[in-house]
């Protein structure tokens, strides 16, 4: 089952509950629904994690954790998917988001040279914030929807294959 595959990559929920940065959620981490591996909780966690990965804020992981707890979807999966955006993948992803937003708004793309400084951020963000945030929203929703549907379909296909194999085993045993 997909559960076995996912369980291999998940940390122990007792370890997560005792993590120093997640203690702010207190007893909410004891809800068994956020630890279940079923089609609903994993597909919802994929939606949430992929959506939060495109949100250009620091500490996306805590935002994803808070929303996962409120939505009662799998917490480790949603947090893990936020790590798609990391220092290596962030520049190309967010540049693509900016280009996508500029294309949707039908505005010319503002050429810029990236510098890692607050001065650059203050100067350039005024020119690019609208297409950038629109691109992040569109790509976040699109990737979240694709991830959600992909998990739902794959889970269902896996269950159909399992049932088919089980029927064949019963027939061959009789």
pLDDT bin (cut points 50, 70, 90) of residue 153 is: very high
pLDDT of residue 47: 97
DSSP conformation letters of 43-75: HHHHHHHHHHHT--STTHHHHHHHHHHHHT--H
| Predicted confidence (pLDDT) per residue in 4-56, tens digit | 666 666 666 666 666 666 666 776 777 777 888 888 999 999 999 999 999 98
Q: Which stretch of 28-42, 61-75, 112-126, 145-159 has the lowest confidence by average pLDDT? A: 112-126
Cβ contacts of 80 within 8 Å, gap of 6 or more: 9, 10, 49
pLDDT of residue 19: 67
pTM: 0.79
- Give the three-state DSSP class for 171: helix
pLDDT of residue 115: 66
Domain boundaries, the chain: 2-173
Q: What are the tokens at 155? A: 């889970």
| Predicted confidence (pLDDT) per residue in 76-115, tens digit | 899 999 999 988 998 899 889 999 999 999 988 777 666 6
Q: The tokens 């988001």 sit on which residue?
A: 97
Stretch 125-136: mean pLDDT: 87
pLDDT of residue 143: 97
Max mean pLDDT among 15-29, 138-152, 154-168 falls in 138-152
């Amino acid at each position: 089952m997909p559960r076995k595959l996912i369980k291999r990559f998940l940390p122990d929920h007792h370890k997560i509950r005792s993590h120093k940065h997640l203690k702010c959620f207190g007893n909410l981490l004891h809800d068994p629904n956020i630890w279940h591996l079923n089609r609903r909780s994993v597909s919802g966690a994929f939606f949430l994690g992929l959506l939060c990965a495109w949100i250009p804020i620091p500490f996306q992981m805590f935002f994803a954790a808070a929303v996962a707890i409120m939505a009662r979807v799998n917490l480790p999966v949603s947090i893990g998917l936020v790590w798609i955006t990391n220092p290596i993948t962030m520049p190309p992803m967010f540049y693509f988001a900016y280009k996508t937003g500029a294309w949707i708004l039908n505005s010319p793309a503002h050429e810029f040279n990236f510098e890692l400084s607050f001065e650059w951020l203050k100067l350039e963000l005024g020119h690019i914030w609208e297409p950038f945030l629109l691109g992040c929203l569109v790509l976040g929703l699109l990737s979240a929807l694709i991830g959600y549907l992909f998990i739902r379909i794959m889970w269902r296909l896996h269950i159909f294959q399992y049932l088919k194999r089980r029927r064949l085993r019963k027939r061959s045993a009789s």
